[in-house]
């Protein structure tokens, strides 16, 4: 299945997974750019920076097989196999970034919005009864098994 066919499948978990990939870049870039604030927004930017590798390993399952990670981290990532659990994780990450407004209105709002979009896409996939389907481009659907 090609990338365009995946998007035409109307499976919201595919949309959520690609929105998650956008979140990786946004969280990394905005986390770094907001490190230079002079108030406690720095804490939220550090948390946003931590989100980037977590989302990376969550959305690109191939990396769990080829990167040396701890067994604790692997079991944490593997807990989020269903659409609803992923929606909850993204919603929690988004809520934390929305809370950064209390410190100061910064560009971290963009990360909060895109994280919220990913949560909504995963929730829609769960509500429609669509099974979680990983993108082949990102290492899902048997690509990880071909390495072994």
Tell me the CA end-to-end span of the chain in Å, nearest whole number. 21
Q: Give the Cα separation of 76 and 80 in Å (integer).
A: 8
pLDDT of residue 62: 83
- 115 contacts 25 by C-beta, under 8 angstroms: no
Q: Give the Cα separation of 83 and 125 in Å (integer).
A: 6
pLDDT digits (tens, 9 = 90+) for 79-114: 888 889 999 999 999 999 999 998 889 999 999 999
pLDDT of residue 65: 82
Distance, C-alpha 69 to centroid of its chain: 18
Query: What is the model's pTM?
Result: 0.85
pLDDT of residue 39: 84
Q: Give the Cα separation of 41 and 88 in Å (integer).
A: 24
Q: Helix (H, G, I), strand (E, B), or coil: what is residue 69?
A: coil
pLDDT of residue 94: 95
Structure tokens at 37: 């604030």
Cα four-point dihedral sign 74, 111, 85, 144: negative
Furthest C-alpha separation in the chain: 48
Q: Which residue has the higher pLDDT, 147 or 49?
A: 49
* Domain residue extents for the chain: 10-147
Confidence at 128, pLDDT banded by 50, 70, 90: confident
pLDDT over 70 at 135, yes or no? no
pLDDT of residue 82: 87
Q: Give the Cα separation of 19 and 82 in Å (integer).
A: 16
pLDDT of residue 1: 55
pLDDT digits (tens, 9 = 90+) for 13-25: 888 988 999 999 9
pLDDT of residue 2: 60
pLDDT over 90 at 45, yes or no? yes
The DSSP letter of residue 67 is S
């Amino acid at each position: 299945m090609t990338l365009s066919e995946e998007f035409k499948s109307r499976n919201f978990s595919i949309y959520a997974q690609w929105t998650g990939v956008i979140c990786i870049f946004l969280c990394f870039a905005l986390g770094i750019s907001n490190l230079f604030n002079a108030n406690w927004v720095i804490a939220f930017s550090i948390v946003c920076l931590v989100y980037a590798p977590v989302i990376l390993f969550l959305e690109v399952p191939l990396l769990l097989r080829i990167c040396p990670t701890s067994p604790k981290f692997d079991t944490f990532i593997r807990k989020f196999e269903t659409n609803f659990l992923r929606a909850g994780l993204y919603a929690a990450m988004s809520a934390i970034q929305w809370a950064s407004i209390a410190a100061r209105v910064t560009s971290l709002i963009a990360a909060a919005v895109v994280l919220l979009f990913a949560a909504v896409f995963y929730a829609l996939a769960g509500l429609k009864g669509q099974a979680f389907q990983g993108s082949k481009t990102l290492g899902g659907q048997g690509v990880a098994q071909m390495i072994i």
